[in-house]
């Protein structure tokens, strides 16, 4: 029977070629560890390019760089999503990172002491696998969404690009995080707009102000990077809350929503006569709904017993103890509040790269060297040599396994 797969053996596979995967690649390359990055997108950075047109980062460029290459913009500028995408692409080129695009991984499974990564007709065998992507990838929609009038345009925030996608008439934004606030203010310029969802709070300074640039960003950077971590009581207390709820508003204040003419309404609880039904019994006559409701975990393709009851990977700072050689980078609160951001990913990536290096060195040290074996008694050495399997002509000498 003909094998339908094209199989390759690679010491370390990194799944995901966004900021997390590139940061891991940088630190693996520094350690001389051979690896391959696989990414489903057509181009590096497409995960950013394919977001809404007016999106900007919520932090200045000085905190948007990956290890070894600062972001190419003035430090107090808030980069656009296309600038971030182009930066990631140039980062991979600058460090000659081996990224294979257009490869969507279908399955990750265990085989012997290693792992098998399946992607269509391609198959990769590896000693180490790093899943370098966010834990929330599948758009979250309410179960009652299909019951809404089919004449209402519905889209998740990941599908939204600009107001031209919307019909004339009212727009309901569901979700009051940074995405919902940014999109809401944009569509309110051309459409009557309502916004539904729980208050997330906000950072009480104008992000464009000199005070913010000089003081608040540095304070939040220190707090998020060093205080809100899995190693501190405060971090362990607030971490689960930070994961489960939207982040506080940064560039936008609640007053900005009012000034834009957006009407705040109670949360959506169901459908009445094809219309969204609000808590309290009011139904809204709208022509468009944008669900800014976040994402579900998207790791169903990982066929390994490494997840908790809620589908979250079980790990210790990215190292999966249940499955030696398995790692995560890019998860929300993997170590700190900044772990899923350009600001914090480099630190987590370095730690995982060190763990891979240590594991590889430990594995190699368990195999007796030639000089050590020459010290064996002659009879025992002869017995080992006669019993050794020397038929594997495909064996290769690797830098680090």
- Claim to verify: residue 204 and residue 144 sit in the same structural domain: yes
Domain-located, residue 341: yes
CB atoms inside a 10 Å sphere around CB 300: 11
Phi, psi for 99 (deg, rounded to 5): -110, 125
**pTM beyond 0.85:** no
- Claim to verify: residue 116 and residue 157 sit in the same structural domain: no
Report the candidate in 229, 232, 235 with the shortest Cα–Cα distance to residue 344.
Answer: 229
Give the residue-averaged pLDDT of 40-65.
91
Is residue 20 a contact partner of residue 132, using CB atoms and an 8 Å limit?
A: yes
Is residue 148 a contact partner of residue 274, using CB atoms and an 8 Å limit?
A: yes
324-367: pLDDT as tens digits: 999 999 998 787 877 888 888 999 999 999 999 999 888 776 65
- Claim to verify: residue 132 and residue 157 sit in the same structural domain: no
Report the candidate in 323, 325, 329 with the shortest Cα–Cα distance to residue 346.
Answer: 329
Q: In angstroms, how far is CA 251 from the centroid of its own chain?
A: 22
Is residue 9 a contact partner of residue 376, using CB atoms and an 8 Å limit?
A: no
Q: What CATH number corresponds to the domain at position 301?
A: 3.50.50.60
- Claim to verify: residue 126 and residue 191 sit in the same structural domain: no
pLDDT bucket at 223, cuts 50 / 70 / 90: low
Range of the domain at 274: 140-291
- Claim to verify: residue 354 and residue 272 sit in the same structural domain: no
Residues in the chain: 401
- Claim to verify: residue 286 and residue 323 sit in the same structural domain: no
Q: Which of 43-47, 162-166, 245-249 has the lowest mean pLDDT?
A: 245-249
- Claim to verify: residue 110 and residue 157 sit in the same structural domain: no
- Distance from first CA to last CA of the chain, Å, rounded? 31
Please check the confidence at residue 393 and state whether its pLDDT lies above 60.
no
Q: What is the number of domains present in the chain?
A: 2
Residue that wins the pLDDT comparison between 276 and 374: 276
- Claim to verify: residue 264 and residue 333 sit in the same structural domain: no
96-131: pLDDT as tens digits: 999 999 999 999 999 998 999 999 999 999 999 999
- Claim to verify: residue 212 and residue 286 sit in the same structural domain: yes
- Claim to verify: residue 161 and residue 248 sit in the same structural domain: yes
Domain-located, residue 398: no
């Amino acid at each position: 029977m003909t094998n339908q797969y094209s199989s390759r053996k690679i010491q370390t596979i990194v799944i995901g070629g966004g900021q997390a995967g590139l940061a891991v690649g940088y630190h693996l390359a520094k350690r001389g560890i051979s690896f391959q990055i696989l990414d489903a997108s057509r181009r590096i950075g497409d995960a950013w390019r394919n977001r809404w047109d007016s999106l900007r980062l919520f932090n200045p460029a000085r905190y948007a760089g990956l290890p070894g290459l600062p972001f190419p913009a003035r430090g107090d500028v808030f980069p656009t999503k296309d600038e971030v995408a182009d930066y990631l692409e140039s980062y991979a080129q600058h460090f000659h990172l081996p990224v294979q695009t257009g490869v969507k991984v279908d399955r990750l499974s265990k085989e012997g002491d290693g792992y098998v990564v399946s992607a269509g007709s391609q198959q990769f065998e590896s000693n180490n696998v790093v899943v370098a992507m966010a834990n929330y990838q599948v758009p979250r929609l309410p179960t009652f969404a299909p019951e809404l009038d089919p004449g209402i345009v519905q889209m998740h925030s990941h599908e939204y690009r600009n107001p031209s996608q919307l019909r004339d008439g009212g727009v309901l934004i569901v979700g009051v995080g940074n995405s919902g606030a940014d999109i809401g203010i944009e569509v309110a310029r051309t459409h009557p707009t309502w916004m539904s969802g729980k208050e997330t709070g906000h950072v009480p300074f104008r992000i464009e102000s000199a005070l913010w640039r000089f003081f608040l960003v540095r304070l939040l950077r220190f707090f998020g990077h060093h205080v809100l971590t899995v190693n501190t009581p405060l971090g362990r207390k607030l971490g689960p809350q930070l994961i489960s709820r939207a982040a506080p508003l940064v560039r936008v204040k609640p007053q900005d929503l009012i000034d834009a003419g957006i009407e705040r309404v109670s949360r959506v609880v169901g459908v009445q006569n094809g219309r969204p039904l609000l808590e309290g019994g009011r139904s809204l006559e709208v022509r468009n709904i944008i669900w800014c409701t976040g994402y579900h975990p998207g790791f169903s393709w990982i066929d390994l017993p490494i997840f908790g009851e809620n589908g979250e990977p079980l790990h210790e700072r990215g190292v999966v103890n249940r499955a030696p050689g398995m790692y995560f980078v890019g998860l929300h609160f993997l170590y700190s509040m900044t772990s899923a951001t350009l600001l914090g990913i480099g630190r987590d990536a370095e730690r995982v790269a060190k763990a891979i290096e240590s594991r590889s060195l430990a594995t190699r040290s368990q195999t007796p060297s030639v000089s050590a074996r020459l010290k064996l008694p002659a009879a025992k050495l002869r017995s080992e040599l006669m019993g050794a399997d020397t038929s594997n002509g495909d064996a290769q000498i690797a830098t680090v396994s």
